[in-house]
Structure 1
């Protein structure tokens, strides 16, 4: 009897181990496939970079811009800086899947293109793999449980708006993309803030940008969709600026919603590495 019970128990243990092993293998395979797809999509993304005649930033371009915006560009860009075509970066950090839940560790990589506006971000935690993107004028958010089971696949006008807003705020990594152009204009507010307006792909978006006494961009604020039809205040914070490849950029970022006047952060990222060339997958 004891031997039979032991055999049954051993069989159950082996079956459980085999099931867990198969599940673990499936997760590893799914994440490997997602990583391979990401690399291909990044190659396709950067293949669309507009290679116009090389342009260089000069301080004469700042004439007429609001005072804090002039200080910002003088702070982060050397005179004569070539326009940046794109950037790739890796980060660590924490993320909340729900504002009322706890923080989970996350690591991600992001690829941003200056012209036309586009980016791909992919983040991975123990529980999920998420992908944010704005490509070919459209936004999309996808989330897979354990990197394998699709649980979110969001598209449509609200995602177009949200992802283009993300691209614009994270041009803090691509300061030349924030210089005035046909689609981008600055307007004065006060000594430490200015309004940025972007018109692209049938959308007109605005940010309130705030700068510190040194001229560094420290906060951006806008109205962004949370859910289907609700526009809410959203803020991004930037800090710990460092000189990377000749350009001064933030390495700490925080994203938050403002609900009933209270800031509710949900993302905190620390940049671990950042490169402007070559434009290729990690």
Structure 2
């Protein structure tokens, strides 16, 4: 559990605006479901629909995203970070391997950057995750980092007029787990904040790579459900109570 004693005031204020109570007896696990579309390749003009479920830890840097795409959801994808190791797999019918990323520092950096960018969906991590390092860059800009050495990663979070997380930017997220790793500017946008129980959560997101010619949005989603479960009460379902 992170201590708020040495945390910059701006970070504590962000947590308070998002409805996060001071750290107590435990750190909740976030669970959410999504529907959306993603590009087959960055060069493609076609999009494929997906449905996904995700869990995000708030006391450490870990997540597990599982999606089904294609006709009848026959293709499955898993993107995960657990115990300091990244994972990216694509399978057919749940058992036939189609693609698997090599376990490299570049893969871990990419997954760490995803975790840091998605703090908007797991805001309890702001106060609960002691692996995070924070820096205040300005009134509307905060940097959060994690990892050391070859896996050190940083994401810059931009705040909207309500002081909530609206953007996430990484200067050099790897586009490949193996050489050439192609470190590339990468950014996400969050919008349509809703009040779920006492927590403000963005319900819409999109992600893009910044290439020399233009920004290419390659992933968009709508959050269909969101909950934060305490370790002792996984069955509690949060209810949506308002909009931004």
- Give the TM interval when normalised to the shorter protein: 0.7 to 0.9
**Distance in 1, Cα, partners of 2:192 & 2:6:** 25
Decide whether aligned partners of structure 1 residues 153 and 79 sit closer, same or farther in structure 2, where only a CA change above 3 A counts: closer
- Secondary structure of 2:113 counterpart: helix
Q: Which has the larger radius of gyration?
A: 1
- Secondary structure of 2:124 counterpart: helix
The yes-or-no answer on 1:95 pairing with 2:38 is yes
Q: CA deviation at 1:156?
A: 1.9
2:117 match: 169
- Secondary structure of 1:164 counterpart: helix
Q: CA deviation at 1:150?
A: 1.4
1:224 match: 173
Residue 245 (structure 1) aligned to one of 197, 203, 228: 197
The yes-or-no answer on 1:266 pairing with 2:210 is no
- Secondary structure of 1:179 counterpart: helix
Report Cα offsets for 1:181-209 as digits up to 9, x if no partner: 65322222222112222236973211111
5+ long unaligned stretches in structure 1: 1-51
5 Å-filtered alignment, 1:75-154, equals 75-80=17-22, 82=24, 84-101=27-44, 102-126=46-70, 128-154=75-101
Aligned residues between the structures = 223
5 Å-filtered alignment, 1:24-43, equals none
Decide whether aligned partners of structure 1 residues 239 and 81 sit closer, same or farther in structure 2, where only a CA change above 3 A counts: farther
Residue 156 (structure 1) aligned to one of 104, 114, 129: 104
Decide whether aligned partners of structure 1 residues 147 and 64 sit closer, same or farther in structure 2, where only a CA change above 3 A counts: closer
1:34 match: none
Contact 2:8 2:136 in 1 (8 A): no
**Distance in 2, Cα, partners of 1:76 & 1:181:** 16
1:18 match: none
Off by >6 Å, runs of 4+ in structure 1: none
Decide whether aligned partners of structure 1 residues 140 and 192 sit closer, same or farther in structure 2, where only a CA change above 3 A counts: same
TM-score, structure 1 length as denominator?
A: 0.70
Decide whether aligned partners of structure 1 residues 124 and 201 sit closer, same or farther in structure 2, where only a CA change above 3 A counts: farther
Q: CA deviation at 1:134?
A: 0.7
